[in-house]
Copies of this chain bind each other. A is one copy, B any other.
Amino acid sequence: MDIVSVNSLPYEDFVDVFGNVVEKCPIVAAAVWSRRPFSSLADLVASINDFIDALPESGKEGILRVHPDLAGRDLQGGTLTPESREEQGQAGLDTLTTAEVSRMARLNKEYKDHFGFPFVICARMNNKAKILQQLEKRLGNERAHERTRAIDEVKKICHLRLQGLVVPDRSNKL
């Protein structure tokens, strides 16, 4: 879809198409529809990032808390969103050994107990080794810093999901 088509969508279709670019937060797409017309994919990305940044800190934590654990119960139970399933699969999280699953579960729990939200990372920009490494490393961060870090990952995930839905702007091709 090009940006002209995006701008022509009624809000219901816009939410149908973009409702999960931020995982389980259709309110985000539904809100930024107010900012049409978008001049480019980059403008749509920026509008979403601006909306996220304008949320109260509790709202940012809310975004994180509706994200699934990596290699967690939703992957094992088949209840991931299609986008998350594909991304976790690409990172190799659906073919972990029993030992790796246990280690991931232990670290995920430690992270959640410590921060009160789940570990979020852009799986498509990583692999299972890097993900485990980052999970251990980020556990040592200060809470507010880690919240910002995790929201940056939400934005990367969102950007990649949008790139799969909207063709790049012509200016980017020149």
- Whether B61 and A51, one on each chain, are in contact in the complex, defined by CB atoms closer than 8 angstroms, is no
A65 CB–B CB distance under 8 Å: yes
Q: Given that A116-B34, A117-B11 are contacting pairs, would A26 and B66 also be in contact in the complex, using a CB cutoff of 8 Å?
A: yes
Counting every copy of the chain, the complex holds: 2
Distance in angstroms from A70 CB to nearest chain B CB is: 14
A140 CB–B CB distance under 8 Å: no
Residue tally, chain A, CB below 8 Å to B: 33
A28 CB–B CB distance under 8 Å: yes
Residues of B within 8 A of A25 (CB): 26-27
Residues of chain A having any CB pair with chain B under 8 Å: 10-12, 15, 19, 24-35, 51, 54-59, 61-66, 112, 116-117
